[in-house]
Chain A
Amino acid sequence: MSGGKSAQSNRLSSGGLIERDITLSFTFDGRRYRGHQGDTLASALLANSVRLVGRSFKYHRPRGVFGAGPEEPNALMEIGVGARRDPNTRATVAELYDGLTARSQNRFPSLAFDLMAVNDRFAAFLGAGFYYKTFMWPAAFWEKLYEPLIRRAAGLGRLAGKPDPDSYEKAWAHCDLLVIGAGPAGLQAALVAARAGARVILADEDFRPGGRLNAERAEIARIPGHEWAERVAGDLAGMKNVRLLTRTTVFAAYDGGDYAALEKVSDHLASPPAHLPRQRLWRIQAKRTILAAGAIERPIAFGNNDRPGVMLASAVRSYVNRHAVAPGKSAIVFTNNDDGWRTARDLIAAGVDVEAIIDPRASEEVGIVREMTGDTPVFTRARVTDVKGVRSVESVEFLNANGRTVRLDADIVAVSGGWNPLVHLTCHRRNNPVWNERIAAFVPGAEMPSGMIAVGAANGAFSTHGALAQGTEAAMRVLNDLSLGQSQIAIPDSEDAPYSISPFWHVAESKARAFVDLQNDVSVKDIAISEREGFRSVEHMKRYTTLGMATDQGKTSNVPALAIMAELTGKSIAETGTTVFRPPYTPVALSAFAGRARGKEYRPLRLTPSHDWAVEQGASFVEAGLWLRPEWFALKGEKTWRQSVDREALAVRKSVGFCDVSTLGKIDIKGRDAGLFLDRVYTNMMSTLPVGRVRYGLMLREDGFVMDDGTAARLGENHFVITTTTANAGKVMEHLDYCSQVHWPELDVHMVSVTDRWAQFAVAGPSSREVLRKIVDEEFDISNEAFPFMACAALTVCGGVEARLFRISFSGEFAYEIAVPASYGDALARAIAQAGKQFSIVPYGLEALNILRLEKGHLTGNELNGQTTAGDLGMARMISPRKDCIGKVMSQRPALQAEDRMVLAGFKAVNAAEELTAGAHFIGLGEEASTGNDQGWMTSVGWSPTFGHSIGIGFIRRGPSRHGERVRAVDLVRGKDIEVEICSPHFIDPQGERLRA
C-alpha cells in the first residue's frame, strides 16, 4: 500500500493521450499503484518510477521496460489472478484496468533479491552452447535430471494450472480489402478504399488507432497526428462497409488471401462480461491486403546495455508523448540515425534533462534534426561503451571522437540503431525480405503473398508523408484491380523528412557483456563463439545461441545479430540473410485456437433416435465414435455390469430383445445401373439379387484388403439400400462417390446417405416374429414362408407409418431389423417395448450386442482392421470369379494368397474358468513367447453366458485347418499365459438353423 502516496512521480503534468480524470488502481508484486485510463501496464509502472520489472531468462539479471510495443523482451509478467492468471504477458501491450494484478517472473525469493542471480557471476561458463557441451553425458541424465533443472532455473511465468474460466470464440470475415495496421498509412488506405465503397477490414493491435502518430508530435493536415487519426478512425467506424478491429493482431498470412487474427475482446477488463468471449480468433478471407504494420526500432549493443533504464529511443518518445510519463530524470541519447534525435527533442520539450546526444556518425552525416535540440551537448564519432548501475542506470561511459572515455550521470539511455520494417507477414509464405542499403534494413521481397501490398514504414517509407502517399496509392491500386471505382481523397499535408542512417550494430570497445537478445541473454560474445565454432549460417547461429527463439521471437535482436555475424564472417548482410519468419507474429493462447471446442464440445455428439427413451430406461452410455450408445440397461438389484449384459444376451437367445442399431451407415442407391455398380464395389454379385431379398457383402480397397462389410437390400429393380459399419459410414460414402464419379461416370447410379434419416432396431430372439406381428400392419404377411431369412420389404407399421423390414441377424439369432423415419424412432422403441411385454422383451446395449455377435463369429472393426484380406476372414469364396471388382486384382498378389497367413478362428480356454484377453498373441505349447514364435493374435473376446465360459476370435496361421489344436494365448501386457483350443469362430448355430426358423 505504501506505493500509493508517492503516486506517479514520473507523470508529466500535462499532455499525453490519457484520461487523467479516470484513475485506475493496480498491484505489482503485491504493491498498490495508480495509473490512468489510456495507460499500459508498462507506462503505469514507469509513471510510478518502477524500474526493475523482471529477471532475465538465463543469468537472472535485473531488467526494466525496454520497448513500448509488441517487441518487448524484458517486461514479461503474470497478469491476473487464480484461473485467469496469464504468464509471459508483455506489460507494454497490456492495457491497464482497475484492479489489474501483475507479478514479476523468474525470480526467487523476490525480484529485488534473486538467488539465481548467481548465474550472472558464472557467465563466463554459461556462454553459447553451454548446455550442449555440459549436459552431454551421461545421456540418460538428460531427461530426468538436467532438463528439469535447467527448466526450473531458466523459467518463464507459471501456468495457472486450472481450467480456463473464460470463453473464446472463432469468427469468419470476408472483405475486399484487409488493412493491417492503423497508423497513418493504414488509416489513409482504409479511408480511400472505404469511401469508394470497398468492404474494408482495418485491424490494429493497439486499443487506440493511430500507430506512431500517437507517440509522435507530427502533424497531419495542420492538426496533431493523433487527432487526425482519431477523426479518420471515427469516420471509418461509422461506415457500414468498414469493420474496425482494434486490439486485434493479424498474426499469420496463409494461402489465397487467408489471414488469422486474434482480437483481445475483454483482456482489458478484470473479467469478461457474461455475453463476451475473452478473445476471438478471426479467419479473414481478403481479396486484397495492404500491410501497414509499421516498423520496430532496433538497439545497438554495448556494455551492460540491459540495465533498467536503457530503452529504445522510440519507446522513450512513446512514454513521453502518449502516456505523459518521463521514464527518468536525465537522459543520454545514443543514436546512429536522425530519428533518434527526435527523442532528445521530445524529452527536452517535456522538461527532462538530456545530458548528451552520442552519435557514432560524423557531424556532416547528421541531418537537419541537429537544429531540434538546442544547446544540448552533442558528441559525434562517439559511442557508448558501458553503463554503470545494476538495478538502474546511474551513469554512462562513452568514447568521444578523440578516443577518450567520458563519463556522464544519467538514468535513461535512449538507444536507436535504426528501424526494421515489420516484414513478418510478407514472409509467412516463403518470401525472403531483401536488404535495403539506404535505410540499412530489410524490406519486403518481391514474392509477396498474392494480393498483398506493403506500404509505409513496413515498406521502408519512414516519413509521415511517405506513409500517407503509399497508403493512398495502394488503395487506388486495389480499387482499380477490383473494379471498385475511384476515390477522390487527397494526400493530407505532413512532414517528409529524409531518413539518414549509418549502420552501427555494436560497440567493439565495450569490455562488459553487450546483449543482443535480451530475452534469451545472448551477447555479442556468444555470436562470436558461434562463429568460431562453425555455426555461421544464421539458422545455425540461432539454434546454437538460442538467439531469437524466446517469446519475442527476436523482434529487436535478429537483425543486429545477423549484422554482427556478417561482420565476423566478412560477408554482406544481404549475403548473410535472415532466418525464416513463421506464424504467429506474436504469441497466441491455445484457448483461442480451441475456441468453443473444449470438453464435451470438442467434437459433435450424435444421439440415437431412441436416446431419450434409453435414458428413461436407466441405460448406461458409452461413446462409440461420435455416437453415444447404451452399453447396457441395468435392472434394480444388478450389482455388476456383467449381470446386466448376461441377462440381456440370454434373453435374446431364449425369448426376445431389441437394440437401436441406427448408427449403422445406410446408403440409398438408385439408378438403372445400380446392380452393376454394386457388382463392381462388392466382391460378390449383387445384380443377381432378387427384389425383396438381402445379401451380405464385402468391400475391398483397391489394394486388395477388406475395407468394410454390410448388407445390400434390393427394394426395387433399380433401388438398393446398403448398410455399412458404424465406423466406416463416411468413408464408404466417399469411396462409392469416388467409384461412381471418377471410375465409372457413365453408369446411371445415384446415391445418398440416409444414416440419419432412418431409425433402425434389431429385434432378435425366438419370439421376435410374434413381437413384430403386433407392430407391422396386418395386411403384410411376415410368416416364414412369405418373409424368409434374408427377405426385405417396404411396408407400414403401427397403423400406416412407412417402414422397412429386413430379416437379417447380427446376433446370430432368429431376428429382424426394422427401420422407420428417424422422427418415429422414439415412438417405435416404445411400441416395441409395449408389444414385447408378454414375451418379456428386454432392450439390450452395445455389450450384449458384442457378445451375441462374438458367439456367432460375426466381425467388427477389430477384425476388419485394414490389414486383413477376405481370405484372412475366412471369406475367400466371397470374391466372385465372374467379374472384376474394386481390389480384386490386387487381392490376388502372392503374399496375400500365401498358405501360412493368419486366418480367422475361434478360441476357448482349455480350463473353462480362465478369462481370455484381446491382444494376446498365440504361441506354440512349450515355445518361448518371442516375436519369432508369434502365430497370430486375439482380436475380440467376451464371456459367453450361453456357454458359461470366455470365448474369443482372432487370427492364427492356417487357422481353419487347425481346429482342435492347442496353443497358448500369451498376453505379456496383462501377464497372462493361457492354454487355448483352436475352434470354429462360429460358436453358436454354425449351420444357421436358428436364423431360418
Chain B
Amino acid sequence: MRLPCPYCGERDISEFVYRGDATVKRPDADDPDAARAFHEFVHLRTNPAGWHFEHWYHESGCRAWIVVERNTLTHAVRGAVAASAFRRKVGEVGA
C-alpha cells in the first residue's frame, strides 16, 4: 500500500506512522466545558466503515503530518494534504 505524501509523492506505507481521526480538533482549555470536551477529544472516536480522514506521519520521510482520505473498507486512498492545510479546508482532501 502506498500513500501520496504531498511533499514526497507516492511512498510505501512502511515510511508512515498511523495516528487516527483527523477531524477532531483540540478543544480550548478555557472553555467552561473543557473537561468534557477534552474527554471527547482524547477518548471518543467514530469508527466509520467507508471514507475516513486520518492523520499519518511521514516519519521515515519528510516528517510531515498529513491528512489522508482513505476508505476503511477497501483501503482505497483518494488523496492527501498537509495537516496544516487541512485545518483550513476540511473535507477537500480528495479534490
Q: Residues of A with Cβ closer than 8 Å to B?
A: 254-256, 258, 285, 429, 450, 702-703, 730, 733-734, 737-738, 741-743, 745, 884, 888-890, 892-893
Contact = CB atoms under 8 A, between A and B. Distances in A.
Contacts of B22: 742
Interface string B54-95: 010101000111000000001111000011100100000000
Given A256-B2, A742-B84, 11 more contacts: A255-B1, A258-B1, A258-B2, A285-B2, A429-B74, A734-B57, A741-B65, A884-B29, A884-B30, A889-B29, A892-B35
Contacts, number: 61
Interface residues of B, number: 31
B87 A745 contact: yes
Nearest to A753: B63
Contact of B64 (A741, A890, A893): A741
Nearest to A450: B76
Contacts of A703: 42-43
Given A703-B42, A884-B30, A256 B55 contact: no
Contact of B35 (A285, A734, A745, A893): A893
B34 A256 contact: no
B17 A890 contact: no
6 contacts: A256-B2, A702-B42, A737-B64, A741-B65, A889-B29, A889-B34
Given A702-B41, A889-B29, A734 B1 contact: no
A254 B1 contact: yes
Nearest to B39: A890
A991 to B, nearest CB: 35
8 pairs of A and B residues whose beta carbons are closest in the complex: A745-B84, A884-B29, A255-B1, A255-B75, A741-B65, A889-B38, A742-B83, A256-B1
Interface of B: 1-2, 12, 17, 19, 22, 26-27, 29-30, 34-35, 38-39, 41-43, 55, 57, 59, 63-65, 74-77, 82-84, 87
Mostly, the A contact residues are helix
Contact of A737 (B35, B65, B87): B65
A745 B29 contact: no
A743 B65 contact: no
A202 to B, nearest CB: 22
A285 B76 CA distance: 15
B2 A890 contact: no
Q: Which of B19, B30, B39, B83 has the most CB of A within 10 A?
A: B83
Contacts of B17: 734
Nearest to A703: B42
B76 A737 contact: no
A671 to B, nearest CB: 14
A889 B27 CA distance: 10
A864 B55 CA distance: 26
B65 A738 contact: yes
Contacts of B55: 738, 742
Contacts of B76: 450
B81 to A, nearest CB: 12
A742 B65 contact: yes
A738 B84 contact: no
A77 to B, nearest CB: 36
Contacts of B34: 889
Contacts of B65: 737-738, 741-742
Given A738-B65, A741-B82, A745-B83, A890 B38 contact: yes
B77 to A, nearest CB: 7
B9 to A, nearest CB: 13
Given A256-B77, A742-B83, A890-B39, A737 B1 contact: no
